[in-house]
Amino acid sequence: MKNLITIGKIIKPSGLKGRVKVLSYLTSPRILEEQSRVLIGTDENDPVAYVIKEVSIKGKFCLLSLRGIDGVEESECLKGKFMYLPREVFDAPGEDEYFWDDIIGLEVVTEEGEKLGVVTSIIPTGSNDVYVCEGPGGEVLLPAVEDFIKKIDVNKGIMIAERPEEI
């Protein structure tokens, strides 16, 4: 299990004073208001810690002011990078709940043993997430509902799923 949880992606600079606009992956972006630091990097292997000066929440977006990022040029350098928080900041997920970071990378197989591929991303749809699985047969979209997802074993790195019917 990863020690860092991806909480968002920096979309672009916002204003002239170094503020950044972030697409939040958090169920409730308000958790950022409780943090004094955030980690930012291209992946979880190279994050740099930044002190949070100010947070403004606008729906699924956040505007963040960070210490040391004082102009457009500096904030432009953060564009496209991901934001992380340590796993211990979050409550443990409930039964049959998972962090996205724990789902992405799981190998997906059917109950019959057919390999569908690996979960590469997750699409939030409002009613349920959709897991994007890339494999030998191309892209497979798996609704994150009981009818399709039979079992998830994060420790073994596997998801057992029903193959959706092709349209």
pLDDT in the model for residue 94 = 83
Q: Are 27 and 64 in contact (CB under 8 A)?
A: no
Question: What is residue 136's predicted lDDT score, i.e. its pLDDT?
Answer: 87
- What is the pLDDT at residue 17? 93
What are the tens digits of pLDDT across the range 146-159?
A: 888 999 999 899 99
The rounded distance, in Å, linking the Cα atoms of 132 and 43 is 19
114 and 75 in a single domain? The answer is no
Q: Based on the structure, what is the number of domains in the chain?
A: 2
Tell whether 106 and 31 lie within a shared domain. no
At residue 105, the pLDDT reads 92
The CATH number of the domain holding residue 120 is 2.30.30.240
Tell me which of 89, 120, 144 is where a domain ends.
Answer: 89
Asked if the structure places residue 32 within a domain, the reply is yes
Q: Which domain holds residue 124?
A: 100-161
Neighbours of 153 (CB within 10 A): 10
Give domain status of residue 145, yes or no: yes
Which pLDDT score is estimated for 166? 64
What pLDDT, on a 0 to 100 scale, did the predictor assign at position 1?
58
Verify that 81 and 26 share a domain, yes or no: yes
65 and 126 belong to one structural domain: no
**How much of the chain, in percent, has pLDDT values that exceed 70?**
98
**CATH code, domain with 14:** 2.40.30.60
Question: What is the mean pLDDT of the segment spanning 122-145?
Answer: 88
Residues in contact with 78: Cβ distance below 8 Å, sequence separation at least 6, in sequence order: 10, 20, 40, 69
Residues 79 and 11 in one domain: yes
Domain identity same for 85 and 146? no
Shared domain for 50 and 117, answered yes or no, is no
Share the mean pLDDT of the chain.
90
> Domain check: are 8 and 74 in the same one?
yes
- Mean pLDDT in residue range 135-148: 89
Q: Tell whether the model's pLDDT for residue 30 goes beyond 90.
A: no
Is residue 56 within 8 Å of 62, Cβ to Cβ? yes
Residues 10 and 63 occupy one common structural domain: yes
DSSP string, the chain: --SEEEEEEEEEE-SSSS-EEEEE-SSSGGGGGG-SEEEEESSTTS-EEEEEEEEEEETTEEEEEETT--SHHHHHTTTT-EEEEEGGGSPPP-TT---HHHHTT-EEE-TT--EEEEEEEEEE-SSSEEEEEEETTEEEEEESSTTTEEEEETTTTEEEEPPPPP-
Residue 166 covered by a domain: no
Handedness of CA 148, 150, 154, 158 (dihedral sign): negative
| Pair (65, 13) in one structural domain | yes
Are both 55 and 12 inside the same structural domain? yes
Residue 166: both structure tokens together: 């092709």
In this structure, the answer to whether residues 78 and 136 fall within a common structural domain is no
Q: What is the mean pLDDT of residues 22-36?
A: 86
